Structure formats: C-alpha cells, structure tokens
Amino acid sequence: MKRLLIALTFLLAPVIAQADLINGGFETGNFTGWQTIGDALVVDSSIGTPPAGGTFQALITNAPSRPSSERHFQSYSGTNSVESCPASLSPDPLAIFLGLPRCSLTQLASVAWEGSAIKQTFTGNAGEVLSFSWNFLTDEGVPMDFAFVVLDGNLSLLADFSTVHTGSGTPFRNESGYHIFATILPTTGIHYIGIGVVDTLIDPDINSAVLVDNFSKTKIPEPSALILFGLGLIAVARALRHEPLLR
C-alpha cells in the first residue's frame, strides 16, 4: 500500500504543482518582487481583517493627495496616492505605471481622480491559471470608487461598492470580504499583473482601498494526467478494500 501511495504522489504532482510568482503572499512582510506607486503597504491582521492566507496581505488605497474631510487624513504608507487623469495632467502617471494609454481608467469611471497600484512581471505558460484573493474596502455609499486589475495591458473592473456588505473592522466602513480572481493565461512568455484602486472626481475626499493576497499560477493538467489520476484513485480504492485495518 505504501508503494502505491508514493506512486500516486508522483502522479498528482503535475496536477497541483504551482509555478512561482515572487512573494505572491507578501510573506516577506514587504513588497519584494513587486513595484508600487502611490499609497501601498504590506499589513497583517491588525488592519482589522485577516489575510486570505499566511500572516501578511497588501493594502492599496486612494488615500488623499490633498487633505480629506473624511476619516483618512493621510496615506497609510507615508506616500500619497497619485493623480490619474484630471484634464490638467499630462501624462497620466498611474496609467503609465500600469502600461496603459493615458486616461484609460476613465473607461471604468467618468473621471478617475487619484489612486495607487502594485504590479509584477512574471513568466507564464499558455493555459496556466493566474489567481489571487481580493477584499474591497470603502467609505462609499454608492458605486463610485473602484478597484481594478490589469493583465498584460487589459483593464478590468475588480470591485466597487456593489460588491461590499455593511460593516468592517478596518478603518473603512464597509468591506466585501475576500473573493478570488482567476484567469487563464492566453500565451506563453512574459506577462504582468497590476492591481489598484481609484478615487473619482465626484468625491475625492471619500476613500477606498483593496487588500490582495495569495497570487499564484497553477498548471492545468493534461487530459492524460487526469485519466491517470482517476486510475490512481481507483487503484487506491481497490487496495483499501483488500488491506486490513492497522492496529
């Protein structure tokens, strides 16, 4: 039986093996392997909600680049969020950081005023699943501020007020709780992932944030591997039927 279990372990390896991103869980306690712009820092559960896994998680906020009349009078990291796309600003530093054309974030809101982001470049293979956990925090009462994800220059909405529930133990009034974002890499080669949060011009004094954790790539097994996996489970079941219980 022991030999069968050892063989099955090797059989399962391609199913569960993960290719590394650097510091995907922020367990170094800092942004090793990541680039940041604006207000971003690595925190633990003392922020008021536990990480999705491990001890640490990354907090990205749109805390003010000007004095706030709300509860967030300064940035959390000591670095203010950066302007995104007011008409007077050219170029757009947040979009440039994310590899996007100027004012791209206005696709998700009429005016993207200020925000912060993190990003990492990595090597991946076509068909691998890229995933991470996210938790949107906000003082908003309507869908204005938003969190977003950028993969290889493709921008998507991650969260806004419509994803949250009432109440939060964090400095923000409401949070969504942790959810999982997952996507399949379309090509083999160098990729990059960016995550951020943006304030709108309508209410630049009311702030939001996103917590992220557990970035990973997972290889989808070949069909033949799934067949072998199934056969292995059948073999284990048969062996268990014929093996006496240990005493």
How many Å apart are CA 38 and CA 203, to the nearest integer?
18
7: DSSP letter: H
Check residue 183 and give its pLDDT: 97
Query: What pLDDT, on the 0 to 100 scale, is given for residue 219?
Result: 85
Which CATH fold topology does 20-218 show? Answer: Jelly Rolls (2.60.120)
Question: What confidence score (pLDDT) does residue 115 get?
Answer: 92
pLDDT category, 17, cuts 50, 70, 90?
A: very low
Asked whether the predicted pLDDT for residue 73 surpasses 80, the reply is no
Contacts for 9-18: CB closer than 8 Å, 24+ residues apart? 11/225, 11/228, 11/229, 11/232, 12/229, 12/232, 14/219, 14/221, 14/222, 14/225, 15/221, 15/225, 15/226, 15/229, 16/218, 17/219, 18/216, 18/217, 18/218, 18/219
The predicted model gives 204-218 an average pLDDT of 90
Select, from the ranges 13-17, 66-70, 75-79, 107-111, the one with the highest average predicted confidence (pLDDT).
75-79
Q: Where are the domains of the chain?
A: 1-17+221-247, 20-218
The whole model's pTM is what? 0.80
Average pLDDT of the chain is: 81
Give the per-residue pLDDT at 13.
43
Q: Is the pLDDT of residue 66 over 80?
A: no
